[in-house]
Amino acid sequence: MMRHSKIYIGIFLLLTGLFSCEPYEDYLGDFDYSIVYFGTQKPLRTIVAYDNMEFKVGVALGGKRSNEVDEYADFSVDPSLLDDDTFTEGNDFELLPADYYSLSNDSRMVIPAGKFIGDVTVTLDREAFTSDPKALSTTYALPIRITGSSLDSISSGNYDEAGNVINPPKDYTILVVKYISPYHGTYYHKGTQQELDENGELIEETVYNNDDLSKNGTWALSTVDRTQVMTPALGDNISGSMVLNVNESNNEVAISTTDDNIVDLVGTATYNADERTFYLDYSFTRNARNFTVQDTLVLRRAPELDLGFEEW
């Protein structure tokens, strides 16, 4: 009986080996053909308006387990993509003006040996781009189409006989780009507020200042333009808003408001670029109540760290 069991086990192992080798090989070899494509057709890039405003756009290689040689994808900027609702999904994008940007290579993305991604660097002209109010929103797009490649194929999509999409094309991307101010972001908010009567006498003083910075409240400053951000409140979270305009030559800050409920807003402010901190000293009137405030706003973390992968 023991001898028969050993024979059965031996036959089982032999058959298992015969039938399992071929499927296993499928996981070791390349596919039948290699292909190049854009990973997303609708990327949205939000760029912080530092001195150097640049980012990458690239293609991916598929169909190969390893990449032993340099491959490439040729491309062109294709404005016709913006005229087709199939691609824009009804969005009214405008072509990014040619004088707003430059490319590290105008026509080719190289996929280096050992890599599966090839890209080019897009460098925005800071002055030109941020001087255009449209650059604050999802208006400008850079439409790019793959025109050729050293690989076997380009992912241009598959369709049935009726023209219905089986696999959507990935040979193009419509890259939408906008910017935010370097002063945009979430700030720890601490300070002192005094309410004064009509004679300037103190009615009430409120201190909102925790020695543990992380235990202070926060304000989210939003972009108005490259040098201006808007606060979500005043003082001890009094309803309203202020605009802080940073003079980048001396880091002095002008304070103003577009809020009709805030009147007689005056004050001085500075910005410490090394500490990324605003120091504000201002007074204002709201609903016939008079306030003086000394505020400190400390950036919680760099605005680019709050940005992630986005699609329009």
What total number of domains does the chain contain?
Answer: 2
In a domain, 20, yes or no: no
- Is it the case that residue 11 has pLDDT exceeding 70? no
Residue 149 to residues 17, 30, 75, 155, 240, Cα–Cα distance (Å): 40, 18, 9, 11, 56
Of 150, 180, 210, which residue sits at a domain end? Answer: 180
Task: Decide which of 31 and 285 is more confident.
Answer: 285
Q: In this predicted structure, what is the pLDDT of residue 149?
A: 98
Looking at the structure, tell me whether residues 208 and 293 fall in a common domain: yes
Average pLDDT estimate for 108-125: 98
DSSP string covering the chain = -HHHHHHHHHHHHHHHHHHHHHHHHHTTS--SS-EEE-S-SSEEEEEE-SSSEEEEEEEEEES-S---S-EEEEEEE-GGGGG-HHHHTT---EEPPGGGEEESSSSEEEE-TT-SEEEEEEEE-HHHHHTSGGGGTTTEEEEEEEEEESSSEE---EE-TT--EEE---SEEEEEEEEE-TT-EEEEEEEEEEEE-TTS-EEEEEEE--SSGGGSEEEEEEESSSSEEE-SEETTTEE---EEEEETTTTEEEEE---TTEEEEEEEEEEETTTTEEEEEEEEEETTEEEEEEEEEEESS-GGGG---EE-
On whether both 253 and 121 belong to a single domain, the answer is no
Please indicate, yes or no, whether residues 217 and 122 belong to a single structural domain of this protein: no
With respect to residue 94, please indicate whether it lies within any of the assigned structural domains. Answer: yes
* 97 assigned to some structural domain: yes
Looking at the fold, whether 194 and 153 belong to one and the same domain comes out as: no
Query: Whole domain around residue 89: which residue ranges?
Result: 35-180
Given pLDDT bands bounded at 50, 70 and 90, which one contains residue 23?
low
Co-location of 249 and 171 in the same domain = no
- How many whole angstroms separate alpha carbon 274 and alpha carbon 109? 37
What pLDDT does 55 receive?
97
Whether residues 195 and 168 share a domain: the answer is no
| Per-residue pLDDT at 2 exceeds 50 | no
Give 176-215 pLDDT, tens digit per residue: 999 999 999 999 999 999 999 999 999 999 999 999 999 9
The arithmetic mean of pLDDT across residues 223-244, rounded, is: 98
Clarify whether residues 56 and 103 are in a common domain. yes
- Per-residue pLDDT band for 165 (boundaries 50, 70, 90) equals confident
Does a structural domain hold residue 245?
A: yes
Question: Is residue 17 over pLDDT 90?
Answer: no
pLDDT digits (tens, 9 = 90+) for 37-85: 999 999 999 999 999 999 999 999 999 999 999 999 999 999 999 999 9
Assess whether pLDDT exceeds 70 at residue 269.
Answer: yes
> CATH number of the domain that 117 lies in?
2.60.40.1740
Task: Report the CATH number at residue 264.
Answer: 2.40.128.420
* Structural domain ending residue among the three candidates 161, 180, 199: 180
Domain boundary among 137, 163, 180: 180
Residues 39 and 126 in one domain: yes
Whether residue 260 is found in the same domain as residue 153: no
Query: How far does Cα 273 stand from its chain's mean position?
Result: 22
- The answer on 71 and 45 residing in a single domain is yes
List, for residues 126-161, the tens digit of each pLDDT value.
999 999 999 999 999 999 999 999 999 999 998 888
